[in-house]
Structure 1
Amino acid sequence: MFKTIREDIQSVMERDPAARSKLEVGLLYPGFHAVLMHRLSHALWVRGWKLSARFFSTIARFFTGIEIHPGAVIGRRFVIDHGAGLVIGETSEIGNDVTLYHAVTLGGITPAVDSSSQVNQKRHPTLEDGVIVGSGAQILGSITVGAGARVGANAVALHDIPPGVSVVGIPARVVVPRSATKSSRFAAYGAPDYDAPDPMARAVDGLLEQVATMSARIEDLERQLKNKPAPIPPGHITSEDFNDDKTDDSVKGEKP
């Protein structure tokens, strides 16, 4: 337990440049306080002391503004930065080296009309090792966020997120593929560390290119039709059909 707490403090020092000392983190960081109280309440929860566990988690929420259900499973070196308004649901599972920012929700979206059937059922997300979730992001349902993935601020994730990618938007879309996020460098708020293309902008650009290509082809076809002589309709008689020689040959039954 004490080793885990020391790792939590050291992780805050490594990921938050505003942290001046371990003593400051231990005394004044509400995110660390919430994690510390959760480790205590979770230990009570798994031993069957449910009411006591909920009591300590409620105390933590009152003093920190961070709500972590004591049933949530959280790995080592977990960091909550700022933390106000953060919610982690009962069946959430969080791996090692995960970072969450304020107003993040790890919630469930199953219907509440039959809550008794959902007891002990997996309803909340799983975050694998090294995930970073930016402020205001909502990760909802029994989905998995792959190892090393980054969820940008205010994104809404409703489906599984592959390992190592960065996602943004509503709904969350991949903006940085796995090959571009191999760096182990920490990315605050889950934001890409360089200008990432907007997936909607890319889609619109692709449509505009197709429209321009089709317009050019249509103009070319119009020019070809304009320069091409009009076809003679079937059965149309021209002045050449009344040539004297052709008429005489036709009367005689000879071929012209």
Structure 2
Amino acid sequence: MFKQLKEDVQAVFSRDPAARNTLEVLMTYPGIHALIMHRMAHELWNKDFKVSARTISAISRFATGIEIHPGAKIGRRFFIDHGMGVVIGETAEIGNDVTLYHGVTLGGITWNKGKRHPTLEDGVIVGAGAKILGPFTVGKNAKIGSNTVVTKAVPSGVTAVGSPARYIYKDTQTQPQDEEQHRRDYAKRIGFVQYATVADHSDPVLEGMRILLDRLEQNEKRMTTLCQRLSLLDPTYKKQPQDHPPLSQEELKILEDVRRECESQNQQSKA
């Protein structure tokens, strides 16, 4: 137990630059206090002293603001930074070298017994206020952004952001520079701004915006071509097949308006 506590204290030093010495960590870090009491409660829980285990868990919650069910399985070098408002459910499983920030919830979405809470593999980092809900796995070395809501499995090594969560893959190839620059120029020309996005991240929403921009430009070119061809037509031309009546004055007026609009579009595209 003391060897495990030493590892937990070293984990604090490796992940919190504000930590200055061992005594300070042991005396003032609620994450360490909650972890010590949880390990005691977990031993009692496994030995079927359920009431005693829940009592220690309740005292820990009152003293630290961190609620960890004594049935939760926690690995080595686990670090809860700040900690206030952290909730870890009964069937949650946490691997080694995992970091949680304040306000994190590892919760369930069903009242059925059995596995209800998430599993966090080694090296996972969960940002402040994130909610991970359900009996799925968050892959090794994944990162969960602050206030992210995760309700399905997270692959290893990705960053999950947003509500509901979407995944950012670091190793995805980016667009060629000239193509991406052309797309940004076109977006600027039509007044479209991709707010709060970064071009070198493979964000699914950003990829969707790129596809829409390409499609919009393609449609604009086709409309321009159509307008050019329509502008060559004479709207007063009334020669019609025998089974069709001649164009009315109202229809001729509509064609004239279309012709004017097409000429205006042609001038803007040439400019």
TM-score tier by shorter-chain length is 0.7 to 0.9
Kept in 2, the 8 Å contact 1:167–1:176? The answer is no
Partner of 2:131: 138
The two structures have a TM-score, normalised by structure 2, of 0.74
Instruction: Report 1 or 2 for greater relative contact order, CA contacts < 8 Å, sequence distance ≥ 6.
Output: 1
* Structure-1 separation of matches of 2:19 and 2:146: 22
Residue segments in structure 2 that go unaligned for 5+ positions in a row: 174-198, 244-271
Correspondence list, 1:104-119, <5 A: 104-110=104-110, 112=111, 118-119=112-113
Superposed displacement of residue 216, structure 1: 1.3
SS in 1 for 2:14: helix
User: Which string of whole-angstrom CA distances, capped at 9 and with x for unpartnered residues, describes residues 192-230 of structure 1?
Assistant: xx9856543442343133112201111112213444798
Aligned to 2:205: 200
CA distance in 2, matches of 1:178, 1:32: 35
Pairing 1:27-38 to 2, within 5 Å after superposition: 27-38=27-38
Cα distance in structure 2, aligned partners of 1:228 and 1:179: 49
Give matches, 1:93-108, under 5 Å.
Answer: 93-108=93-108
Q: Pick from 146, 150, 155 the counterpart of residue 162 of structure 1.
A: 155
Q: After the TM superposition, list the runs of 4 or more consecutive aligned residues in structure 1 that deviate by more than 2 angstroms.
A: 175-180, 194-206, 224-230, 232-236
Give distance in 1, aligned partners of 2:24 and 2:169: 35
Which moves more between the two structures, 202-211 or 168-177? 202-211
Does the residue aligned with 2:122 lie in a helix, a strand or coil? coil
The residue number in structure 2 matching 1:221 is 226
Equivalent in the alignment of 2:75: 75
Residues 20-67 of structure 1: CA deviation (Å, up to 9, x unaligned): 112211111001110111011001101111111011111111100000
TM-score, reference length from structure 1: 0.78
Q: Which runs of 5+ in 1 are unaligned?
A: 113-117, 181-193, 237-256
Pair 1:127-2:120 in alignment: yes
> Where does residue 256 of structure 2 map in the other structure?
none
Aligned-residue RMSD, C-alpha: 2.4
Q: Secondary structure at the match of 1:18?
A: coil
* Letter paired with 1:25: V
Distance verdict in 2 for CA 1:158–1:3, change over 3 Å = same
**1:171 aligned residue (161, 164, 168):** 164
Partner AA of 1:86 in structure 2? V
Question: 1 CA distance for matches of 2:224 and 2:91?
Answer: 61
Q: Which residue of structure 2 aligns with residue 185 of structure 1?
A: none
Return the alpha-carbon distance in structure 1 between the equivalents of residues 155 and 46 of structure 2.
30
Cα distance in 2 between the residues matched to 1:172 and 1:133: 13
Q: Which residue identity is paired with 2:138?
A: V
Aligned residues: 216
AA at the equivalent of 2:228: R
Query: 2: CA distance between counterparts of 1:42 and 1:139?
Result: 22
Whole-Å Cα distance in 2 between the matches of residues 21 and 195 of structure 1? 40
Larger radius of gyration: 1
Letter in structure 2 aligned against 1:95: G
DSSP-derived class of the 1:135 partner: coil
